[in-house]
Amino acid sequence: MYDPKRIEQKWQGYWIDNRTNEPDLDGAERPFYNLMMFPYPSAEGLHVGNLYAFTGADFHGRYQRLRGHDVFQPIGFDAFGIHSENYALKVDVHPTKLIPSNIANFTRQLRGTGIMYDWSHTVDTTDPGYYRWTQWIFLELYDAGLAEKKEAPVNWCPSCKTVLANEQVIAGECERCYSQVEQRMLSQWFFKITDYAERLLENLDHIDWSDTTLTAQRNWIGRSEGALLRFPVARPKVADDRYEPAQLERERRMIEVFTTRPDTVYGATFMVLAPEHPLVDEITAPERADAVAAYRRETAALDLKERQKADDRGKSGVFTGAHATNPATGEEIPIFVADYVLMGYGTGAIMAVPAHDQRDFEFATEHGLEIRTVVAPTDEHAGEAADPELGAAFTAHTENERLVDSGEFSGLAAAEGGRRIVEWLAERRLAEPRVNYRLHDWCISRQRYWGPPIPIIYCDDCGTVPVPREDLPVELPYVEDFKPGDDGIAPLAKDRTFYEVDCPSCGAAARRETDVSDTFLDSSWYFLRYPSVGDDERPFGPARTERWLPVDTYIGGEEHAVLHLLYSRFITMVLHDLGHLAFEEPYDRFRKHGLLIRDGAKMSKSRGNVVIPDEYVERFGADTFRAYLMFLGPYDEGGDFRGEAIMGPHRFLNRAFDAVEAAVESGVTGFPDPGVERALHATIKQVTEDFARLSFNTVIAALMELLNAIRAGGRTPTVDEVRPLAIMLGPIAPHLAEEMWELLGGEPSLFDHAEWPTWDEAKLVTDTVEVPVQVNGKLRATIRAARGATEDVVKAAALADEGVQRHLEGGELVKTIHVPDRLLNLVVK
RNA sequence: GCCGGAGUGGCGGAACUGGCAGACGCGCCGGACUCAAAAUCCGGUGGGAGCAAUCCCUUGAGGGUUCGAGUCCCUCCUCCGGCACCA
């Protein structure tokens, strides 16, 4: 039995006094940057979810340390943002008061966990010394033409009263408050992340990340190959005679559409514009104006989620009275406005091919429009052609389908036909190949208080003027009433002393931007700051950046697969292109961890199944709690937190400590028992390999097995047997391991002086092996044979076995399978 | 609907490139210690038949490949996560 409280205090004190966890940032020879996602400092304090994430990362960091690396493992606080601000509103405490006390509380809790943080290099995103560089990054993007203010349909959260990035809208709801998100046309600051879509996608092939995270990013970027097609809008018939044909052609409006199926253009029998499409007013015939306006009002009133409920509402839409020319057939086809076409994807307009697109098919059926088949099914699919009776479009698009009713392209395979059609239309500038992305530009304006002000000044004469670099930071002023308003006007717009400013360019009275930037901009570069904390001259110093970055291992939650992880890749790539960084990918290796659940459900306050770590730490100590968290399931899958199961790791650590005490007391050295020695080498091998692949639950199981072998039959272990055990326990139970190391006569700290144990393959093999003998694939006996025994020898021994003989009776031995030292299988007929 | 991931004892979970399924732990049962309980220590523990040696069954369901399948292939079911009228 050991006293966790005493030794944990002892070693935590030792680590601080001796700066054990602070690597030499300027001189480290084997630098290893071990990063974990910095927390948002909630008022509730540290919860098990945080601790689960950090503990796994700490296992990894301490393992790398014991493997001889100089590990830099910092922590900080992502303290700006809507989450913090909403909480401040709820409890009616100003964020400038609330957040510092939350950070202080978090810091106190984290210091008690024994995690190997370098407390001399922490980051707080609300510190002007930090966000002045966040603003600097904004200006760098602005100067590079990658930040622009534009009118665009944006997501508006009516409860948070701010716009949200696309990534922050989850199934039509605000990711923070779960309100239904609305669409609004607003002028906002955007970062042109879409310019980087291709590179963000391509680089995914070259970085060592969890597969699921890579897949999530690929899906989010959503690349589709196809073509941009132009459909000339037909003038109303009555007006035609006022124009010369040539002039008519020149002045014709084009409706651009994106399609992945240019091969079906001969089957485009109508067009559809999204209700928000800018051309709608212009093309709508006067007699249809009222109906179209009514429809647009109706759809505008729907929030995102209602709009997506296609099943309930069917395919609604109205005819505009206008027509466009199908560039392939030359026929005039009607133009509709319908909300099944989204302004946010492609061009906000489509060519509708009801025969080969299910949505268009439904719309055509509902509105009585022509359905024209232009892709013929092969024999295999005969009978699957678009058919109103069947209620389905024919959408197969493999090399087997061929084009029909498609002019000179009839008879071609669909894919080939599509390419040829695009080439043909391209000659008349009516088509061009196009790659389209689902990814949108990153909207970074927030009409909120708790964030870094966007460093822009608007001047009547000079226009948009960036704040000069030397005037940074633009400090967030204290605004007593920081509540957001319904009107989209930011809280900072209430503070005249803030927004009234002289134009830095001409000196005339001007006005500051009063929106703040998205929290995800704060967190998009924090890992660049850590090594250079304290440097007030620049965001990150070249020497330290060169030594420590990119990050060696980043461990974090899958919930940021497309948010933080995509944004920080983008910002890193931009900083690389602007010459500030030598690398363009921030994290060499990313591993996601799983989610802790309890009673089969995600932990949440509303369910009342949240685990408070403090009680467990108080009762069993931080070491036991760490071991339990990592033992309850595979780290990348998470697991079910069952409080009573903590007894396993608790007993294990106590037994391990007792073993060390017994060994020291006996003073016996060496490896008197070959079985124990073999177990030791096998364990070192497995533990070393499993630590490397972050398989912590099997590491702990292997060490438990080793301890069982060492203490089998109540035997007294030797000093040499338990020393490697103590070292391998280092990443798991650091305080206890230090105590054991000291007991064994090692010089503290274990993490500075212990060498990771090595194994000898020769020690793993035994002279004899147990060979399972199967008859027809079923186990009938195991025989003992010399290692490397030949098939003849093993077979002879097997045939002599009574149990084997019984199963061979009455049959003829037709085949023998022998895997040396592993198995013998006798096949009888 | 699309894209991921997963279904193994009472429970959490092991099983490297196909080769003794159920490691390790929780729980439970029995025993030791104790006046008793907790803690601790020792033994047992997938299901079924049998006094027993032993035999049969068993990795969500069904089929296949193979000397041999939890692992590979096909079909289906269930659960979890993500995206979702994406043209």
Q: DSSP string spanning A497-516?
A: HHHEEE-TTT-SEEEE---E
pLDDT in tens, A328-367: 999 999 999 999 998 888 999 999 999 889 889 989 988 9
Task: Examine the pLDDT at A232 and tell me if it is beyond 50.
Answer: yes
- CA-to-CA distance for A663 and A665, rounded, in angstroms? 5
A302 or A132, which is more confident?
Answer: A132
pLDDT class for A133, splitting at 50, 70, 90?
A: very high
Residue spans of beta strands (DSSP E) within A252-374: 254-259, 270-273, 318-325, 332-337, 349-352
Mean pLDDT of the A187-208 span: 92
Share of chain A above pLDDT 70, in %: 94
Q: What is the pLDDT of residue A388?
A: 55
- Whether A711 CB is under 7 Å from strand B: yes
A602 or A211, which is more confident?
Answer: A211
Q: How far are the Cα atoms of A249, A328, A375, A417 from residue A421, in angstroms, in the given order?
A: 21, 8, 14, 6
Task: Examine the pLDDT at A250 and tell me if it is beyond 70.
Answer: no
At residue A77, φ and ψ (nearest 5 deg) are: -135, 130
- CA-to-CA distance for A272 and A337, rounded, in angstroms? 5
Q: How far is CA A337 from the centre of its chain?
A: 36
3-class DSSP assignment, residue A709 = helix
Q: How far are the Cα atoms of A185, A528, A565 from residue A206, in angstroms, in the given order?
A: 38, 21, 15
pLDDT class for A313, splitting at 50, 70, 90?
A: low
Say whether the ipTM exceeds 0.90: yes
- Whether A118 CB is under 7 Å from strand B: no
- Pick out the nucleotide with least CA–C1' distance to A220: B83
- Whether A813 CB is under 7 Å from strand B: no
Query: Which residues, at least 6 apart from A67, have a Cβ–Cβ distance to it below 8 Å?
Result: A756
Say which DSSP state A716 is in.
Answer: P
- CA-to-CA distance for A554 and A37, rounded, in angstroms? 8
| Bridge partner residues of A596 (DSSP) | A639
- Whether A650 CB is under 7 Å from strand B: yes
Q: Which amino acid is at A41?
A: P
Q: How far are the Cα atoms of A132, A177, A447, A481 from residue A488, in angstroms, in the given order?
A: 25, 18, 6, 16
- CA-to-CA distance for A334 and A231, rounded, in angstroms? 11
- Whether A822 CB is under 7 Å from strand B: yes
Q: What is the pLDDT of residue A620?
A: 93
- Whether A639 CB is under 7 Å from strand B: yes
- Whether A780 CB is under 7 Å from strand B: yes
- Whether A532 CB is under 7 Å from strand B: no
- Pick out the nucleotide with least CA–C1' distance to A309: B85
3-class SS shares of chain A: helix, strand, coil, % to 5 = 40, 20, 35
Q: What is the pLDDT of residue A385?
A: 56
CA–C1' span, A647 to B48, in Å?
33
| Bridge partner residues of A183 (DSSP) | A155
Q: What is the pLDDT of residue A800?
A: 83
Q: What is the pLDDT of residue A45?
A: 85
- Whether A260 CB is under 7 Å from strand B: yes
Mean pLDDT of the A253-273 span: 94
- Whether A310 CB is under 7 Å from strand B: yes
At residue A336, φ and ψ (nearest 5 deg) are: -115, 160
- Pick out the nucleotide with least CA–C1' distance to A313: B85
Q: Strand B contacts (CB < 7 A) among A residues 540-579?
A: 558, 562
Q: What is the pLDDT of residue A198?
A: 92
- Whether A312 CB is under 7 Å from strand B: no
CA–C1' span, A519 to B80, in Å?
29
- Pick out the nucleotide with least CA–C1' distance to A703: B24
At residue A549, φ and ψ (nearest 5 deg) are: -110, 160
pLDDT class for A631, splitting at 50, 70, 90?
A: very high
Share of chain A above pLDDT 90, in %: 60
pLDDT in tens, A144-153: 999 999 887 7
Task: Examine the pLDDT at A51 and tell me if it is beyond 90.
Answer: yes
Q: Strand B contacts (CB < 7 A) among A residues 584-623?
A: 602
pLDDT class for A157, splitting at 50, 70, 90?
A: confident
Q: What is this structure's pTM?
A: 0.92
Average of per-residue pLDDT values in chain A: 89
- CA-to-CA distance for A609 and A640, rounded, in angstroms? 11
- CA-to-CA distance for A371 and A420, rounded, in angstroms? 23
Q: Which residues of A546-580 are buried (b: 16+ CB within 10 A; e: fewer)?
A: ebbbbbbbbbbbbebbbbbbbbbbbbbbbbeeeeb
- Whether A582 CB is under 7 Å from strand B: no
CA–C1' span, A83 to B79, in Å?
31
Q: Strand B contacts (CB < 7 A) among A residues 54-113?
A: none
pLDDT class for A239, splitting at 50, 70, 90?
A: very low
Say which DSSP state A579 is in.
Answer: T
| Bridge partner residues of A602 (DSSP) | A597
Q: What is the pLDDT of residue A47?
A: 87
Mean pLDDT of the A109-126 span: 95
Closest CA to A161 of A191, A190, A181, A175: A181
- Whether A764 CB is under 7 Å from strand B: no
Q: Which helix (H) or strand (E) holds A99?
A: helix A95-111
CA–C1' span, A594 to B79, in Å?
16
At residue A451, φ and ψ (nearest 5 deg) are: -170, 175
Residues found in chain A? 829
Q: What is the DSSP string of A129-170?
A: HHHHHHHHHHHHHHHTT-EEEEEEEEEEETTTTEEE-GGGEE
CA–C1' span, A781 to B53, in Å?
14
Mean pLDDT of the A437-460 span: 93
- Pick out the nucleotide with least CA–C1' distance to A635: B13
CA–C1' span, A772 to B67, in Å?
14
- CA-to-CA distance for A635 and A695, rounded, in angstroms? 7
Mean pLDDT of the A489-494 span: 87
Q: Which residue is nearest to nucleotide B3 (CA to C1')?
A: A219
CA–C1' span, A600 to B46, in Å?
24
Q: Which residues of A50-68 are buried (b: 16+ CB within 10 A; e: fewer)?
A: bbbbbbbbbbbbbbbbbbe
Strand A147-157 with A182-191, pairing: antiparallel
CA–C1' span, A780 to B48, in Å?
19
- Whether A656 CB is under 7 Å from strand B: no
A767 or A52, which is more confident?
Answer: A52
Task: Examine the pLDDT at A252 and tell me if it is beyond 80.
Answer: no
Looking at strand B, which nucleotides approach a protein CB closer than 7 A?
Answer: 3-5, 11-15, 19-21, 23-27, 40-43, 54-56, 67-69, 81-87
CA–C1' span, A418 to B64, in Å?
39
Q: How far is CA A512 from the centre of its chain?
A: 34
CA–C1' span, A602 to B11, in Å?
18
CA–C1' span, A806 to B49, in Å?
20
- Whether A583 CB is under 7 Å from strand B: no
CA–C1' span, A807 to B55, in Å?
12
- Whether A644 CB is under 7 Å from strand B: yes
pLDDT in tens, A16-38: 999 999 999 999 999 999 999 99
A573 or A238, which is more confident?
Answer: A573
Query: Which ranges of A621-695 does DSSP label H, i.e. alpha helix?
Result: 622-631, 647-666, 674-692
Tokens of A546: 């060169």
Q: What is the pLDDT of residue A430?
A: 92
- Whether A695 CB is under 7 Å from strand B: yes
Q: Which residue is nearest to nucleotide B4 (CA to C1')?
A: A212
Task: Examine the pLDDT at A471 and tell me if it is beyond 70.
Answer: yes
Task: Examine the pLDDT at A735 and tell me if it is beyond 50.
Answer: yes
Q: What is the pLDDT of residue A821?
A: 84
Tokens of A47: 């919860």
- CA-to-CA distance for A14 and A748, rounded, in angstroms? 9
Mean pLDDT of the A633-654 span: 91
Q: What is the pLDDT of residue A381?
A: 47
- Whether A350 CB is under 7 Å from strand B: yes
Mean pLDDT of the A581-588 span: 96
pLDDT in tens, A492-505: 998 999 999 999 99
pLDDT in tens, A702-726: 999 999 999 988 889 999 999 999 9
A155 or A677, which is more confident?
Answer: A677
- CA-to-CA distance for A717 and A660, rounded, in angstroms? 8
Query: Which residues, at least 6 apart from A783, have a Cβ–Cβ distance to it below 8 Å?
Result: A770, A771, A773, A794, A797, A798, A801
- Whether A819 CB is under 7 Å from strand B: yes
Q: Which of A299-313, A475-489, A627-641 has the lowest mean pLDDT?
A: A299-313
- CA-to-CA distance for A85 and A96, rounded, in angstroms? 10
- Pick out the nucleotide with least CA–C1' distance to A344: B86
